Amino acid sequence: MVLQIGICSLLLTLPAPSVNDVDQANILIQSIQFSSPDLTGIHKAELFTSSPKKHQNLTLKIDNKTVQQNIYWNSKIMIGDVDDDRSNEIFLYEYSVGSAGAMRLTVFGRVHNQWARIFTDPRINEEGVEQRFSNKYLGKNQLQFYDNLTQLSGKLDMSRYDYSQEQLKKMRLQTDPISEYIIHYENIGCQIETMRWIFANSHPTSVLSVHDYYHYRFRDHSFSLYETKILENDTVLGVKKYALNES
């Protein structure tokens, strides 16, 4: 089963107050309450802000404890069970400002009776991510690409795009931030897929997409990267697998 992360069910969501109410300290933006599996207690996740005029100033509290700060304004929290233990985890889904439509996902789960991060994409803040791909013009509308992070390479047929030979010679592929997260529920547990676009020079001509897949490790109560795929539309041009070191 494959679900977009936005489909996670909510047991109770309280409406957000008006953002015009700027005089209130710690304005409540969103609140979710949900029960534990044994029905002995109620958990609560809340997003607060002290100033809705700033883009990155939200605070996430879980059960009245601050777990993350400096969250982008137009973000939201959801719940869903990623490890099939009948206990909900909390998804913090962030949307940055700007034209790239960047997104960020952090998942909090109960580890030894405490809330802890079980997923934070380690490839969010990589230095020089925009220049991750290098490329070389081969002639006859053929472009060779090389992913400097995974060492995967391949060829692109650029004949369907409206570029001159001189433009193709000068072209430099640009890597966008992550723009989508997809949750895969499988028989072996939960997997998280991230997707980012690779553009010819700049928006809006996307020529490749990079998909990273993270597998939930029950032993460590966390997600680990296990596979990267590079696609041209629906065609897989390269795959790299990583050792999970599962015992």
DSSP notation for 130-160:
GG-EEEEEEETTEEEEEETTT--EEEEE-TT
> CA torsion, points 199, 200, 203, 206, in degrees to nearest 10?
-50
Q: pLDDT at residue 243 above 90?
A: no
Of 91, 120, 149, the one marking the end of a domain is 120
Q: How far apart are CA 115 and CA 75, in angstroms?
A: 20
Nearest of 141, 148, 197 to residue 169 by alpha carbon: 141
| Residue 141 and residue 247 share a domain | yes
| Residue 38 and residue 20 share a domain | yes
pLDDT band at 81 (very low <50, low <70, confident <90, very high): confident
Model pLDDT for residues 134-171, shown as the tens digit of each residue: 999 999 999 999 999 999 999 999 999 989 999 999 99
| Residue 19 and residue 81 share a domain | yes
Give the pLDDT score at 193: 93
Contact yes or no for 82/107 (Cβ under 8 A): yes
Q: pLDDT at residue 17 above 80?
A: no
Question: What domain range is 145 assigned to?
Answer: 123-247
Of 100, 120, 140, the one marking the end of a domain is 120
Of 73, 101, 120, the one marking the end of a domain is 120
pLDDT band at 74 (very low <50, low <70, confident <90, very high): confident
| Residue 132 and residue 221 share a domain | yes
Alpha helices in the chain, H assignment, sequence order:
165-170
Q: pLDDT at residue 97 above 50?
A: yes
- Can you give the CATH number for the domain in which 54 is found? 2.40.128
Is the Cα dihedral 51, 79, 1, 244 positive or negative? positive
| Residue 150 and residue 95 share a domain | no
In the chain, how many domains are there? 2
Contacts of 90 (CB under 8 A, 6+ apart): 32, 45, 62, 77, 78, 79, 107, 108, 109, 115
| Residue 156 and residue 114 share a domain | no
Give the pLDDT score at 11: 34
Residue 153 lies in a domain: yes
| Residue 140 and residue 185 share a domain | yes
Residue 2 lies in a domain: no
Q: How far apart are CA 161 and CA 164, in angstroms?
A: 9
